[in-house]
Structure formats: structure tokens, C-alpha cells
Amino acid sequence: MEILYASCVGLLVSCGVFLILRSRTFPVVLGLTMLSYAVNLFLFSSGRLSLNKAAVLGTGTEYADPLPQAFVLTAIVIGFAMTAFVVILAIRGRADLGNDHVDGELSDKDNKAKV
Amino acid sequence: MTLLWIPLLSLLGSIISSTTGKLSRNQSTALTLLTPIIALAFAISLAPAVFAGDVIRQTISWIPLLGIDIAFRLDGLALLFVFMILGIGILVIFYARYYLSSNDSMPKLYAYLMLFMTAMLGIVMSNNVIQLWFFWELTSISSFLLISYWWHKAEARKGAIMALAITGGGGLALLAGLLLLGNIVGSYNLDIILASKEIIQAHAWYEITLILILLGAFTKSAQFPFHFWLPHAMAAPTPVSAYLHSATMVKAGIFLLARFYPALAGTELWFLLVSLTGLSTLLFGAYIALFKHDLKGLLAYSTISHLGLITLLLGLDTQLATVAAIFHIINHATFKASLFMATGIIDHETGTRDMRKLNGMWRFMPYTATLAMVAAASMAGVPLLNGFLSKEMFFAETLHQQLLGSMSWLIPVLATVAGALAVAYSARFIHDVFFNGDPIDLPKQPSEPPRYMRVPIEILVALCLIVGIFPNFVVDDILRAASFAVIGGYVPEYKVALWHGFNLPLLMSAIAVTGGILLYSQRRYLYQYQASLPTLDAKKLFDGTIYVVTKWCQRKISAIENGSLQRYLMLMFAIVLILAGGPLFEMSQLGGQKQPTPIDVHNAVGAALLMIGAISTVIWHRSRVISLLMISVVGLMVSVAFTRLSAPDLALTQLTVEVVTIVLLMLALFFLPQRSPKESSSIHVLRDLGVSAALGIVVSSVCYALLTRPLESISDFFLANAKTGGGGTNVVNVILVDFRGFDTLGEIIVLGIAALGIAKLLANLPLIMPSTDSEGRSWAKERYPILLASISQSLLPLALMVSFYIFLRGHNLPGGGFIAGLVTAIAFILQYIAHGSNWIAERLTINYRKIIASGIIIALFTGVGSWFFERPFMTTWFDYFDIPFIGEIELASALVFDLGVYLTVVGATLMILASLGQLTANAPKEGVHV
């Protein structure tokens, strides 16, 4: 299962990075979200994979590592705050600048295409 | 009182004087004078001990690990400078009272002057070289403020910037030198450094250290070729010039040379660098001074020349030369300060400083003229005045050295030439200004200045005379003590006396005086010759250099920072790829020893769904709604994975966050274009694909390597102590609210800040709402479907109860403040979706800001609460209570903390979504799709 897990993380990183490299804000936001999934899963994996060993005392004899879980939990919430901020920034940027290009202005090529 | 009080009093004076704006000029002056006078009295009370050879120290430990202390030290050299800084400072403050016009802000000048005084006192009294450097930079900054005092004048601003650039640049070199020095010796303590001459001079870094420190000293002391900032600094008010360019700022460089003389001097490199720099500055300054028509310009170049003289003396390898250098430091300070002040009076009374206009002033201000003439005579080195004595010692010392081998006879000859030039420009100062016919169209009718404006000059000129006639009575103690500190233990026998008999130095003096007068009488030919020379304006050169450097930097910056986010990210990812991928190739084996877990069908299906979701998001990324739906599949599968992999808290959090995120992005999509245009060329897409695939491979390899290695975790501690120490069985929650509660506190604060930032970003947003979707279809008329409205309404109490349950059980079972907060937020968001913002606003007025604030405050005060029980910040308290009908329950302070978390999450989430949702309710509709 380790191979499967690692491949999923890798694929999420690939998809996230590709989306982040796009030129419009919305795909970049999606890319960030995707990358956050990957990073959270990666962080989580530092506690290794374990089935049916939730870190609730009294439910078994062995427990999953609770520390990465606690970190990832806060990371998920912070990740939400970041995504929200970036997407609102994108809206504000589009309202103020008139386009949703990540650089705030259309490149020369786009301008030529428009003309 | 301790040593610290000397700079501290001066700093206090700076603060006091800055608050005297409402008082009269006399009161302001009196209050400003108060602290330096106390400090001077204190310094005088310490003098007997220092004269007896003691070194007074005070150390306050600050950052012991870095060897940085606040350390002060008062020896003879420091005491001499303290006297000069405070003494001349007091006179300058008094003088400035009469110099400034009623338009100039007196508290401002006084505050800057006192700040500068603090910095100078700090330099001379520091016993730690890093601290010394700090004060050194403070003099650069405060002198910048002083020079630019008349900031409305362009020349003042330019002069200030130039002084700051040159002395600040030198300061950086000095810092590097001092750091090297500290590394060589192994301590930044000045006592230790001064005692480590052999170690320093034997070290391989000695040369570079010496050069860096000399750079700092030479730039500050305006040594050739760094001299050019000093004439431009003359744009400052004259009291400032009198202070900075006689006794303090420029002397700081000289002080530095003298301070490190015991540790750095004695080598051939020192003698060559210091003496040749000094010699060229001495000659160059004296020569240029002769041609300056501006009185302050003449004094500025004469200052440069005299600083060169002192530097040259410090670079001559005899101990008597060092004594002479210190003596000349005192003498130059007295006569140059009085000359600057006299110039200020002349400027003040006539409205000009141009010597071509100023003639025959003797008739209008004979008293001031007498004072100025005595001071100028001292500058020229006329007998009976202090300038003569040190010049005589200087001439004598030039005769006793072998610096230039067989050509060493050049040095006394050149010294005599410089002496003649000094006589010539001093003669010009006297003759051109006070005699030489009648004044030529002066702006003002000249007269004697106010009585008290002359007092500081009288005091200084009296000093020139007393030192000149009775040197042994006045300066012997301080000169001996200072020389003792510089030479390091042994002061050679010397005799400062007016009359040494007929000898070679006296002959040199005689030649200098005769030659100087001759030069001055033939000045017309000299001026003609000088005018025929091509002019080299240092200011233009400086401005040009600055321009070129700035341009160069701008080009480099714009080459790297071209404003393209895609490019920055690409660079960043490439660097990550190299840094993270590189080490993988050095590993012998990717997989570890840990037994792999078998794959079962459920996991395989989940993983497949996740992969399909992720790939579909990328494939349809230009159709934004579809890609959003696809990414929600990924999020869902991630939370399923957490459920599966023994992380129920994470699964709940991920699931709830997922809902909120998707709703938010959906809402955002309403304000953004629904489709992305095709922009990247195929080559670009291929490149991006390559980089992202490579990164994915690197990350999955690292992840796999990590997963297949045995776990060594510190979590056993948490598992063992969660119940006994934190009072909860859900270890993840106990970690969040107890073990690592401080992290959580920080996190909810970040959450609150993000929500506030979003609210501010959305305020006054000029929004144009599309009335149709991207394909021209208008929105559904039924905005709030009745089915959803009624169901969501009845769900609300249920959802709130669930969140309450999740909140309460969080300490022992999966749940807690984060999850409960998100569930509550979702319940409310559902109401917003089903009924619209206005409907909610009519029924419910919630100030989300207050909720966030109260959440953070509750969390913070739960943490602070443990202080009242004399426990560290955020110690949890818990106990069990038996409540009738309900049974035994546990109450823990962590629950209150979790309440804070809950409130912050609810407030922040709702604030983000509601403020965005509110826009749709208020924004004007427009028919045109943007």
C-alpha cells in the first residue's frame, strides 16, 4: 500500500504544480488547493500508515502516531484560510485590474490577439 | 553614578530638548544644557582616578552567547574625548541659541545635536567593538539629520546623503574589520583585543582586517581620497559644522586609529598606509584650502589638512609622534571650533561667507575680528598659541624617521610646504576678511553680534592662549593619560615647551611662516594658474558613480524580477527539484526495511478515484466549474483516506473544510470568468508538464522512502501522558489544546487575521456582476429553491446540536473545537445559500469580528489563567465532578481553550463566506458580461 500512497501523493504534487504554473488566477487557486492535499498527505505519512489504530486511548493496544495528525489538522485549517485569502485576492485583482491574469496584466501576446 | 550615565544623560538630554518646543528660546537652551553639564561634572570627578592610571569599567551582560555586552570603559584617551565632546558640545549649544533665526526649530537642532553627542560618547567609551560600531553608525545617521537640518535646501539634502553614503559605507567596512578582529582574538571585548597585539599581527587575516578598519577610519576622518563629503557637509548650520568638524565626527576616525593603535600599529603596513594617506591629505587639503572663496569651504579643507596631519603623526613610527598627534587633536579642536563659530558670526552679521565680498570687517566688528585672528594664528602655528606647540612637535618628529628609506628627507620638506600653505590660508582668512579694503555689496550692514554669542569663542580662544603659553599647567595630565592609553603602558619623556632653543624645527617653522606670507602676497598669480587647470568636481564624480551603480542594480533586479509570477514559480520549483531530487541519487536503495502493508480492494478503489479526480481537474482546468467539481472528488477521497488510515479527527476536519472550500470557490467563480483562455504554447505546456512530473516523481520517491522505514517517534510521550497529564483520551485533541496549545493559539490568530484581511479586501469592491453565464444563459429566476430553504431551516437546530456534541466529546473521542466550529459554520452557510444574505441579515445580526476577537481572547486568557496558579503558560487543569441525573463528567480548562478555538473558527469562516456572499446581494446588476 505504501507504493500506492506514495504515487497518489506524487500525482497530486504533479497536478498541483502544473495548475499553479497556469496563467489565470482560478487554476492557480485550484493548484494551491491540490498542493495542500499533497503536502498534508505527505506530512501525515511521516507517522507511517496504520489501519484501525486511531489514537484514542482505550480503543486498542497500539496507536497511530498522533503528532503528525495534530500538525496536519492545523495545516488543513490554515490551508483553508490561505486558499480563501488567495481566491478573494483574485476577485479583488480582477475587479481592480480588469483581468484575471496572475501578473495583473495581459501579456503582449494576449494584447496582440485582442487587437 | 556609573559610566553608563554619561551617554545616558546625553540621550536623556536629546529627549528633553525635543519636548521644549513650547518654551522660550532661553528656557529651551537652559534645559538642553542641563544634562551635558551634569555629565561633564561627573566626568571631571572621575578624572583624578584616570590620571592616576586607572581604567574605569562597567559591563552589563546582554547576549552572553554571542559575546555581546553593554560595556563601557574610560581610560585616558576616552576621557580626553569625553571632555572635548561634552565641553565643545556645551559651547556649541550655547552658541546655537544666538545663531538660529526665529524660523528655525530650536528643539529639533538640539535634539539632533544631543543624539549625536550620545553617539560620540558611546564610541569613545565602548568596551565592546560591536557596541562601538553601533554608536559609530549612530553618528553617521545623526550627522545626516544634522547636515540636512535645512532640508528645504537642495545642497543640504545632497550634502547629507553624500556624507551618509561615504561614512556609512566606511562603517560597513569597519564592521567587517571588527568582526574579523573579534574572530582573530576570540572576543569582542576591547580590553582583550588591545592586549592581543601579537596574536593579531601574526594572523593571516591581519592585512585585510587592518585595511577594513582603516577604511572606516579614513572615510570618517575625510582622508584623501574620501575627503569630498566634508566640504559638502558645510551646508549644515554653522554650529553643527563647528561641532562635527572640529571636535567630534571627523575626530571619530582619528579616535579609531588611536584606539586600535596598541593592537594594530607597529607593522610596516600600518606605517605606510597611515602615514602616506595622512601626508597626501595634509598637502592636498592645505593646497585646496588656499583657493576656496567660501569661508566655511576654506575651513573645511583646512580641517581635512589638519586631520591628515594627525593621521600622518599616528603613522610615524615614533612614540613621541603619537604624543604629538594627541596634542594636536586637542589644539585643532579648540582653534577650529572657535574659527567656525567666528565664521558663523560673520555670516550671521553680513549675510555672506564669500571672501571676495567680505573685506575690511575690522572696522565693523573689531572684537570678533581679534578673536578670529588669534584663532587663525593658532591654525597657522604662530608662537604663543597652542597650534604652534603641536606643529613644532610635528616638525621635530618628521625629522626622526626612516619611513621612505633614503628618500625620508622628503617628509620634513613636504611637512614644511604644508606648513607654509597653512600659513598662507590662515593669512588669507585674516587679511581678506578683516582688512583688504572695503566690503563689496553685502546683503546686511555688519555690526558686532549679541554679547553672549561671543562667549563660547572667548572661552576657546582663551584656551588656545593658555595652552600655548603655559602648556604644562593645563594639558599635561590629560595628554599624559591619553598617550599612556594609546602607546600602551609607556610614555616617553617629552617636554612641551614654548622655547626649545634654536633648532631645526624652529627653522622649519620660520621657513613655513615666511613662505606662507610670500605665497599669500603672490596669490594673484597662483589663482590665475589654478583657474587654468582643468577642474575635477568630486561631487559630479560621486553623483555619476551613484547613478551608474543604481542603474546597474536596476538592470540586474529587473532581469531577475520581471513581474511574471509564472517565471518566479518556475524558478522556485526548479530549485526545489534540484535540492530535493539531488540527494535521492546518492541513496543506495529507495525502499527501507519496514514490512509493506498489503493493498486491499477498498484502498485501491479509493486511490483510483483520487487519481482520476486529480487528472480530470488538470484536463478540464479551462472549464472552471468542471475542474472545481473534480477537485472536490479529490478532497473527498483525501478525507476517506484519513478515515481509513486511523485519523478520524483529520477525516472530519478535511470533510468539513472541503465543504466550506468548495462553497467558497463556487461563490468566487461567480465573480471570475467561467473559462480560462488557451494561452500557453505547446512548448510551454510541455515544459510545465515536465517540471511537474519530475517534482511528482521526486516527492513520491521521498514519500515512499519515508514510508518504508521504521518509525522513531516522540509521540510515546503524548500517548503516555494524554490521559494523566491532559485529562483526555483523544490524543490528537489533547496535543492541540494542551501539549502544543501555543501552536494552536498562533494558528487561530492567523485564521482571524486572514478573515479580517479578506473582509478588508472585499470592502468597497467595484464589482460588476454578470447577469448571464458564460454561454449567455440567464441565471435561474428562482434564486432560493423552496425545497432547500425548508429543509435547511429544519436542519439548523439539528446541525447545531451535532456540532455541540462534537465539541463536547472532542477531548476524549474524535471531534473538538475545530471540527465543531466548521460544522456550525456549514450549518449557517447552508442558511445563507438557501435564503440569501438579506434574509439572514433581517433575522440575525451577528458581528463576526467580535466572535473572532472573543474566541482569541478566551483562548489567550485560558492560557494566561494558569499563571494565577503559578504554573507555566497554558497548563491544563481538569477534574471530575458528579452531577445529579447526568452522572460523572470531566471538566477541563482545555475545554475553555477549545471554546476559544471554536468561536474563532466559526467567526472567521462565516466572515469570509458571508462577506463574499453579501456582495451578490448588494452589487449592481449589469447586462454586459465581462
What's the pLDDT tens digit per position in B48-66? 999 888 889 998 888 777 7
Chain A stretch 61-100, residues whose beta carbon is closer than 8 A to a beta carbon of chain B: 63-67, 69-70, 72-74, 76-85, 87-92, 94-96, 100
pLDDT tens per residue, range B248-268:
889 999 999 999 999 998 888
Is the previous residue joined to B225 through a cis bond, with omega within 30 degrees of 0?
A: yes
**Cβ of B88: how many Cβ atoms within 10 Å?**
26
Minimum Cα–Cα distance from A59: chain B residue: B729
Query: In the prediction, which pLDDT does B877 show?
Result: 72
Task: List the domain boundaries for chain A.
Answer: 2-114
Separation in Å, CA of A108 to nearest CA in chain B: 11
Cβ of B631 and A30 within 8 Å? yes
Q: Higher-confidence residue: B329 or B770?
A: B329
Q: In angstroms, what CA-CA distances link B20 with B8, B10, B26, B28, B826?
A: 19, 16, 10, 5, 60
CB contact under 8 A, B714 and A82: no
Nearest to B761 among A40, A81, A92 (CB): A92
More confident residue, A113 or B819: B819
CA atoms within 13 A of residue B457's CA, in its CB half-sphere: 32
Question: What's the confidence (pLDDT) of residue B653?
Answer: 93
Nearest Cα of chain A lies from the Cα of B723 at a distance, in angstroms, of 8
Kindly tell me if the per-residue pLDDT of B790 is higher than 70: yes
By CB atoms closer than 10 A (0-12, 13-18, 19+), residue B296 is buried
In B505-622, which ranges are E strands? Answer: none
CA distance B472 to B479: 10
Evaluate if residue A84 carries a pLDDT over 50.
yes
Distance from the Cα of A36 to chain B's closest Cα (Å) equals 10
Residue in A closest to B720 by C-alpha: A57
Q: Where is average pLDDT lowest: A3-12, A72-81, B706-715?
A: B706-715
What is the share, in percent, of chain B residues with pLDDT greater than 70?
Answer: 96
Distance from CA of A22 to the nearest CA of B (A): 7
The DSSP letter of residue B354 is: B
Contact A8 B607 (CB under 8 A): yes
pLDDT in tens, B834-870: 888 888 888 888 888 899 999 999 988 887 877 777 7
Query: Residue B929 pLDDT more than 60?
Result: no
- pLDDT number for residue B787: 87
Residue B121 pLDDT: 95
pLDDT at B811 over 50: yes
To the nearest whole number, what is the mean pLDDT of chain B?
Answer: 87
Q: Write the CA distances from B759 to B354, B484, B849, B900, B912, integer angstroms.
A: 63, 69, 10, 21, 7
Mutate one of B571, B590, B599, B618 to test the A interface: name it (highest A CB count within 10 A).
B618
Residue of B nearest to A21 (CA): B566
Q: Are B216 and B325 in contact (CB under 8 A)?
A: no
| Per-residue pLDDT tens over the stretch B376-434 | 999 998 888 888 988 888 998 888 877 777 888 888 899 999 999 999 999 999 998 88
Cβ pair A47:B715 closer than 8 A: yes
pLDDT exceeds 50 at position B671: yes
B703·A42 Cβ contact <8 A: yes
Q: Which of A53-57, B107-111, B877-881 comes out lowest in average pLDDT? A: B877-881
Q: Inter-chain contact A64–B646, Cβ cutoff 8 Å?
A: yes
Contact list in A for residue B715 (CB cut-off 8 A) is: 47, 65-67
Compute chain B's Rg from CA coordinates: 39
Query: A100: distance to nearest CA of chain B, Å?
Result: 7
The Cα–Cα gap between B111 and B722 comes to 59
Distance from CA of A115 to the nearest CA of B (A): 15
Q: How confident is the model at residue B928 (pLDDT cuts 50, 70, 90)?
A: very low
* Confidence category of residue B926, pLDDT binned at 50, 70, 90: very low
Query: Band of the pLDDT at B887, cuts 50, 70, 90?
Result: low
For residue B734, the chain A residue with the least C-alpha distance is A70
- The pLDDT value given to residue B927: 43
% of chain B at pLDDT higher than 90 = 45
Contact with chain B for residue A38, Cβ under 8 A = yes
Residues of B in contact with A84 (CB under 8 A): 661, 664, 754-755, 758, 912
**Distance (Å, whole) CA B901 – CA A70:** 14
**Sign of torsion, CA B274 B279 B282 B287?**
negative
More confidently predicted of A65 and B676: A65
Chain B CB within 8 Å of residue A35 CB:
no
The reply to whether CATH 3.40.50 applies to domain A2-114 is: no
Chain B contacts of A85, Cβ < 8 Å?
A: 754, 757-758, 761
State the CB neighbour count (10 A cutoff) for residue A96.
10
Confidence of residue B205 (pLDDT cuts 50, 70, 90): very high
When CB atoms are compared, the residue of A51, A80, A85 closest to B645 is A51
- Report the C-alpha gap between B797 and B712 in whole angstroms: 45
pLDDT digits 0-9 by tens, B67-85: 678 899 999 999 999 999 9
pLDDT at B318 over 90: no
CB contact under 8 A, B644 and A51: yes
Q: State residue B304's pLDDT score.
A: 94
Q: Is it the case that residue B613 has pLDDT exceeding 70?
A: yes
Please judge whether A55 and B731 are an interchain contact, meaning their C-beta atoms are less than 8 angstroms apart. Answer: yes
Beta-strand runs (E) in B579-643: none
**DSSP classification of residue B562:** -
Q: Per-residue confidence at B534, pLDDT binned at 50, 70, 90?
A: confident
Residue B537 has which C-alpha cell? 568636481
Confidence of residue B905 (pLDDT cuts 50, 70, 90): very high
CA distance B332 to B102: 31
Is residue B117 within 8 A of residue B130, CB to CB? The reply is: no
Mean of pLDDT values over B428-456: 87
Q: Is the pLDDT score of B453 beyond 70?
A: yes
| A111 interfaces chain B, CB cutoff of 8 Å | no
Rounded CA-CA distance B482/B157 in Å is 37
CB contact under 8 A, A21 and B692: yes
Mean per-residue pLDDT, B672-678: 82
Query: How far is B573 from chain A, CA to nearest CA, in Å?
Result: 8
| Confidence band of B922 (pLDDT split at 50, 70, 90) | low
Q: Tally C-beta pairs within 8 A across A and B.
A: 308
Task: Answer whether residue B621 shows pLDDT above 60.
Answer: yes
Find the helix packing angle between B565-581 and B682-707, rounded to 10°.
40
